[in-house]
Amino acid sequence: MSADRIHGDTANLKSSQSRALQRLGERRVPADRVISAALARDLLDLSHQLGRQLGLFIDRRGQVERVILGDAHSLSLPEFARVRGALGRLRGVRLIVTHLVPDPLTREELADLAKLRLDLVAGVHRGPAGIQLDLASLTPAAPGAAEVFTLRTWPRVPVSTLSRDLSTRPDDETPPPADAPDLPIDFTGFIRELEAKLVAATTDARAEARGTKATALVIHGGGPEVPARISELRELCRTAGIQLMDLVTQRRPQPDPRTFFGQGKLREVIVRALEQDCELLICDPDLTPSQAHAIADETELKVIDRTTLILDIFAQHARSADGKLQVELAQLRYMLPRMVGKGTAMSRLAGGIGGRGPGETKLEIDRRRAKERISALTRRLAELRQRRDQRRALRRSTNVPVVAIVGYTNAGKSSLLNTVTQSEVLAENKLFATLDPTVRRIRFPEDREVVLLDTVGFIRDLPPALLQAFSATLEEVADADLLLLVVDASDPDRDQQRAAVEAILGDLGAGKVPRLLVFNKCDLLAPEELAARREDAGPDTFFISAIDRRSTFPLMHAIETHLWERGMIERAATFTGDEP
């Protein structure tokens, strides 16, 4: 066996020990057996001699593919050249790992079994009863479970149970446990039957797939807003098409400056995520570049934060050219300081005078291209802003007032626009379902017109990258004659959401624009609760159901009255709601 098939730190080994590792790689076991007793004995002897754990990857033909050298407590497995098996297919190799003490399989070893889709994991150790094995494999999960696969472990068994044909067992040999027929004694038949079950389970699960599996990590300082914040993160995941398998919270004043959750807690969460076959870690609040880099060093899972999640939702929902450009600009501005590389290992060498040395690294090239793209997008958006300014000036010259609908995301702004203008703007029960601003004209009696503007929904802690990229669109709000601040009356977090919207309006320079407060989704409130809220409401507060046009009539009267009092339009006839 060549030395390159030995994985691990061999720098301090004697030449005889290195040769012993190479000889292990040349061994074979019967294809229908998990491991032979002789190989288990030699593997354990060498492991104890080195004082380090050893592991073997054995393929289904019984050939040792890799020898893995770890430390006294763990193994670091090599990467596979081929991707994980699809449609329930397993990796085609089993892992045999030595334990220097008779401990059961660790959580890390079980996580490797699940994440790498290994055929089997066997822990070999020497105890009072001789050499024994701890076994684990994947098995289809129960119907209705969130996971497709689950882990199965067997009671500890002597190595002879799985290394010899039971039909030839001597009379004086210790009999196998009562559940021996369930053990992978005939490994070839066992793995064939198991894989057929896994393929069937995976096929069924794919038909019901609900998106990428993820684990969320949330740091909070306590307080009444925590449940609403967690609920909002779950809703963001649902909108992005992410299946949130687990959400882990930690109460502390600030995230750990290096690993966000702390080294020990982070490793525990990563193991749990691997056990659930997650592909993604989502962190809230946002990660610093150094935190993102440190977490990426701990795991091969993809790591994102709340802002990245929101940007992904925006990218999914952008339809217009303006929206797509603004989303791309926001993504580039956010990712630019988070571009990290591996030093001069990624350098491009250039010869000749002035070209000696590491040259321009791949990281520098990526950053330069990102900056160039940001500059190009900024120029393009400036041109689009100029066109919008021209359209606004044209509207001003015709004395057509502008009413902007603003509010928290998923408060029902697009539904209100559809109802009062008889439009068909996309309106879904999702966060940021409507991204591109929509302008519609509404005609009052006596040919009086008002421009109704639907804007992108706001959210607490709106990422600065988004606010900056969408400034050209959101400036329409500051230039409006009247704001309709829409609040979801059925949301327990409505007061905090309203405060977040008010704060963002102030940042946009729209804090002094007159507004009407509109509580939407009142059909979801109990009659007595709605009556109590009406009693406490001010004169500029309205209670509607955006899907019921008749409930919007008082609001339309108020819009007409308000604009007339400010001299924007002449006093029109009474609004009946019968006009288109």
User: What's the token pair of residue 360?
Assistant: 């321009």
CA neighbours within 13 Å on the CB side: how many for 509? 8
Nearest residue to 137 (alpha-carbon basis) of 113, 116, 157: 113
What are the CA-CA distances from residue 408 to residues 288, 296, 496, 562 (Å)?
26, 33, 10, 23
pLDDT at 447: 61
Give the pLDDT of the chain (580 residues) as one tens digit per residue. 666 789 888 888 999 999 999 999 899 999 899 999 999 999 999 999 999 999 999 999 999 999 999 998 888 888 765 444 445 678 899 999 999 999 999 988 988 888 888 999 999 999 888 999 999 999 888 776 666 778 899 889 998 888 765 444 444 444 444 444 468 888 999 999 998 888 887 766 555 555 688 999 999 988 888 888 898 899 888 888 888 889 999 999 899 998 898 888 888 888 888 777 788 899 998 888 888 888 887 777 888 999 889 888 888 877 777 778 888 888 888 888 877 644 333 333 333 333 334 445 677 788 888 899 989 988 988 888 788 778 777 777 777 888 889 998 888 888 888 888 877 665 555 566 555 667 788 877 666 788 888 877 788 877 776 676 666 567 778 888 899 999 999 988 888 889 988 988 888 888 888 999 999 999 988 889 999 998 888 888 999 998 888 999 999 988 888 886 665 554 443 344 443 3
User: What's the token pair of residue 176?
Assistant: 């196998």
Is the entire prediction scored with pTM above 0.75? Answer: no
| Angstrom distance (rounded) from CA 408 to CA 413 | 9
Element spanning 487, H or E? strand 482-488
| Angstrom distance (rounded) from CA 363 to CA 343 | 8
Tell me the backbone φ, ψ of residue 188, rounded to 5 degrees. Answer: -60, -50
| Angstrom distance (rounded) from CA 154 to CA 182 | 9
| Angstrom distance (rounded) from CA 276 to CA 289 | 27
Which residues are registered as beta bridge partners of 120? none
| Angstrom distance (rounded) from CA 420 to CA 238 | 29
Residue pair 114/277 in contact by the 8 Å Cβ criterion: yes
Which distant-in-sequence residues (6+ apart) come within 8 Å of 400 by Cβ? Answer: 441, 449, 450, 451
What are the CA-CA distances from residue 330 to residues 113, 373, 542 (Å)?
39, 12, 35
- Tokens 């294809």 sit on residue: 31
| Angstrom distance (rounded) from CA 94 to CA 7 | 16
User: What's the token pair of residue 15?
Assistant: 């030449």
Report residue 383 CA to chain centroid gap: 35
572 secondary structure, DSSP code: P
| Angstrom distance (rounded) from CA 552 to CA 563 | 17
Element spanning 295, H or E? helix 289-298
User: What's the token pair of residue 431?
Assistant: 């966060």
